Structure 1
Amino acid sequence: MENTTEKGDKFEKKVYELLKKYINDDKYYINPKKSIVIHKYVCKKEDNNYRDINFDIVIKVYNTEEEKILAEKGENIKHYQMIAVECKSHNRKLSVQNIEYFHTQIENSRAKSGIIISESDFTEDAISIAKKLKIDLIVINNQNDIILKRNEDNYIYYSIFEILFKFGILDRNIQYFSKIKIPFISEKEIINIITKKFDYFSIYKNDRLDTDKVIYFFSNKYNITFEFNINLGDTILGLISFKKNTIFISNRLKYDSPRWRFTLAHEIGHLILHKQYLEKYMDIFEDNITDVFSENEIIPKNLNRRMEMQANIFASNFLVNNIFMEIHWYYFRKKYCITKNFLFYDNQHINKNMAIMFIEYVKYIFGISEEFATIKLVDLGILKIDKYISSINEDLVKLFSRIL
């Protein structure tokens, strides 16, 4: 078993190799030959420091390629920028003390900026003080390729690419990204894709998406590997690696629970709808670019939103077949002698109870959450909601307010 020092050294080397790969690869930069990545760097006391200061990694950036070459030969060439990198391989969230100590080191050295790269997340207080001290934060997990996730924090970076782009060490290659085209796909077209690709008995059982059948189907037909017992941190529920052909679901989610099922269906949506457009660009993202389909500077926001929306529409119709839903609605109406073709949720006892009864029934039949069931029924016109309702739980009040 690795001790703490060995684990830390291993993580440092991993980060060092990722940084070096980006900076030494001509494909991604305007002029990558102006930068040097140094592992185990010591800022000497004689360099105006009050003592020797050790950094895990530094990136030195020079004005010209010639200056960089001379510096590598040992000549005393002044860099115009030096960025200190601290690597943290901890199981716990990093605290304010970690941020403050690193900031002190930067302040007493010739470094102008600092980055902390961690395998775990940061406490809220640590994020707050990092913002104040202008220390950039990156979270990296064990997968060294593209990760698609839902990001819950707008300050922490989730890729080395993003942070190097911010510091101007690399420049986005417009030629590459301008080639990425994600076409508009209507919900009707997505439903047709699902209908053509999957037959009932391959993935459904009693109208419910059968998890075991889905895993078997995609493992055999698409050679997909599934990883469910993995710690993805506090903010990642699911991700897909196109490079490794693997879908990961956080072990924080209970297997086959409604949230777990939607996350799985969402990642399958990216696989079916987007892999053909993105896989040839995946070598660009060989570190841990998360939040690719959210708000970031790597892929245009309109594409991010389009891909997320399409994956959500896919998941909705993959989990709940509209024809199955209409059949269950038909028999529910018949059983309870409902004459109208919709349910009305308001403060009247009989209306409210009937709506809740069908929502609960849909949850059970399709294995979905109350929120998802409600949205689906509203979307299909089966459920209508009185905007003045007051006797529902707080979560549904928020949900209904979005719908209305």
Structure 2
Amino acid sequence: MATLQLFIILIMSTTSKGDRFELRTQKLLTQVLRNGKFELKLEGESEFWIVPKDSYVFNKKKYKYVYGSKVIIDVSIESPVESDVPNLVIVECKDLSRKVDKGDMGEFCLKVQDLNAKKGIFVTNNGFQKGAIEMAKYHNIALIRIDEKNTLVWDLHRIRGFRNISYLDITELLSSDVPAMPSVVFDGYIYYTSVIDYFYSLFYSSDLRLDKKIPFYSNEQIQKQVDLFLNGKKYVKISNEILKFYIIRQNILLCNETVSPGFLGRYDFYNNKISIAEVLQNDEHRYRFTLAHEIGHAILHRKLLKGLIASADDDDVLSLKDCSKWERRLEIQANLFASYLLVPEAPLYNLYMEVKRKLNINDYAPLYLDEQPCNKEDCYKMFYVLSKIFNVSKEVIKYRLKNENLLLTSE
């Protein structure tokens, strides 16, 4: 009798635990999809989100299979009745002491298929077995792993199309015993580090509020912010030691924490903290520009975006592929800040003119980079000399000269 009672208590405890996990997921989706203002508590800060009110979220609603019988779905999302194209998204929530296996995934894939659902999303706290991940990939099921604290953050960048991360890396993030980050989402060929970001991108194409939130800064305004960061001091060359000195003066933390897979640098808006990938320790030029870029986020964007964005993860900071309008503006501004910081204006102009005279180029004519061998040779000599002096890459010198209209290109 005592054994039976203990068994019943365990069943009730497990059910209660699972119900709480479902309700937590439903609440998150309801906030993301329906509320005029979304507020999520995270490390003592608030993260605000504005979304349209055009979908409905249900917990334990019954649906009829195509062949007649009914099933109760943990969490479901339906488009409004008046919608031209009614959609159904079903969400399976598993708060387990083990990883989701192929049996769990196979059962859910059948639910998605037999309910003619537009999308299936599987949420769990303890990861997925590799066989379940393979099955989900084949059936286009989105996988979400949330840590036991249910920590949710919205990161600035996603990895689209596996630019910098392999399928093996994704599998490791979803199936490892010790999660490398609080939340991981895998959907088709897209990887996210944020549940909120994923759901927003799934249902809405853009975020106009962020487009308006990030102002236009002129080159002069960004240069002024660089001067303020350096406390008005003028430098011919900025060493790493000088950079770190001014980082400390601004109460910015520089740490060796691991950044997200595939990324080179991170700026944490909440904690005013910069992290640089270990792989850059052996690449001086990329290390310096990535560090200066993250400082740019701290100086230009923290006051604007603290409480809105958890962190900015950056890969190739000079590449702006796959960026939305607001992301592009943010990255261009951080790049300009970094280029002004590492390649100061006065020494750049002086050294540029000095190299031109040695190359017998007219003082008043800008360099021109096209396919002509003589022009290419002059430009590459300029890039080489200046990159050595300022300890930055030739690509950064090219970027800086173009921005000052000292270099014209045929691109």
Shorter-chain TM-score: which interval? 0.5 to 0.7
CA–CA separation in structure 2 for the residues paired with 1:348 and 1:179? 41
How much identity, in percent, do the aligned residues show?
22
TM superposition shift of 1:243? 1.0
TM superposition shift of 1:220? 2.8
Which residue of 1 is the match for residue 339 of structure 2?
316
85, 92, 99: which is aligned to 1:84?
A: 92
Unaligned runs of 5+ in 2: 1-17, 39-50, 61-68, 79-87, 162-188, 315-319
Which residue of 1 is the match for residue 140 of structure 2?
134
Which residue of 1 is the match for residue 122 of structure 2?
115
TM superposition shift of 1:253? 2.2
Which residue of 2 is the match for residue 359 of structure 1?
383
Taking a change above 3 Å as real, the CA distance of residues 338 and 375 of structure 1, as seen in their structure-2 partners, is same
Which has the larger displacement, 312-321 or 28-37?
28-37
CA contact (8 A) 1:138 1:156 kept: no
Unaligned runs of 5+ in 1: 1-11, 38-46, 50-57, 64-79, 89-97, 388-403
240, 256, 266: which is aligned to 1:211?
A: 240
> In structure 2, the residue corresponding to 1:254 is in which secondary structure?
helix
CA–CA separation in structure 1 for the residues paired with 2:370 and 2:198? 50
How many pairs does the alignment contain?
Answer: 310
> In structure 2, the residue corresponding to 1:252 is in which secondary structure?
helix
Deviation per residue, 1:21-60 (Å, 9 max, x gap)? 83697852869996669xxxxxxxxx999xxxxxxxx953
TM-score by length of 1: 0.59
TM-score by length of 2: 0.58
- State whether structure 2 residue 236 is matched by structure 1 residue 194: no
Which has the larger displacement, 153-162 or 353-362?
153-162
> In structure 2, the residue corresponding to 1:230 is in which secondary structure?
coil
CA–CA separation in structure 2 for the residues paired with 1:354 and 1:294? 29
CA–CA separation in structure 2 for the residues paired with 1:307 and 1:219? 23
CA contact (8 A) 1:48 1:109 kept: no
CA contact (8 A) 1:139 1:158 kept: no
Which residue of 1 is the match for residue 196 of structure 2?
161
Taking a change above 3 Å as real, the CA distance of residues 312 and 349 of structure 1, as seen in their structure-2 partners, is closer
CA contact (8 A) 1:145 1:289 kept: no
Taking a change above 3 Å as real, the CA distance of residues 345 and 139 of structure 1, as seen in their structure-2 partners, is farther
CA–CA separation in structure 1 for the residues paired with 2:89 and 2:159? 30
Which residue of 2 is the match for residue 182 of structure 1?
214
Which residue of 2 is the match for residue 246 of structure 1?
273
TM superposition shift of 1:303? 2.8
CA–CA separation in structure 2 for the residues paired with 1:232 and 1:86? 25
Which residue of 2 is the match for residue 327 of structure 1?
350
Taking a change above 3 Å as real, the CA distance of residues 309 and 118 of structure 1, as seen in their structure-2 partners, is farther
Deviation per residue, 1:164-202 (Å, 9 max, x gap)? 44677xx99x9x948962221111221122223324658
CA contact (8 A) 1:227 1:249 kept: yes
> In structure 2, the residue corresponding to 1:156 is in which secondary structure?
strand
TM superposition shift of 1:226? 1.4
CA–CA separation in structure 2 for the residues paired with 1:251 and 1:16? 38
Q: For the aligned residues, what is the CA RMSD? A: 4.9
TM superposition shift of 1:81? 6.7
CA contact (8 A) 1:266 1:314 kept: yes
Taking a change above 3 Å as real, the CA distance of residues 85 and 350 of structure 1, as seen in their structure-2 partners, is same
CA–CA separation in structure 2 for the residues paired with 1:133 and 1:215? 49
The letter for the 2-side match of 1:157 is Y
> In structure 1, the residue corresponding to 2:247 is in which secondary structure?
helix
CA–CA separation in structure 2 for the residues paired with 1:350 and 1:294? 31
Deviation per residue, 1:288-342 (Å, 9 max, x gap)? 8869x9969xxxx433332222222222222222222101112223445444443
Which residue of 1 is the match for residue 402 of structure 2?
378
CA–CA separation in structure 2 for the residues paired with 1:277 and 1:362? 34
CA–CA separation in structure 2 for the residues paired with 1:165 and 1:188? 35
CA–CA separation in structure 2 for the residues paired with 1:31 and 1:181? 23
- State whether structure 2 residue 305 is matched by structure 1 residue 278: yes
User: Relative contact order (alpha carbons < 8 A, sep ≥ 6): 1 or 2 greater?
Assistant: 1
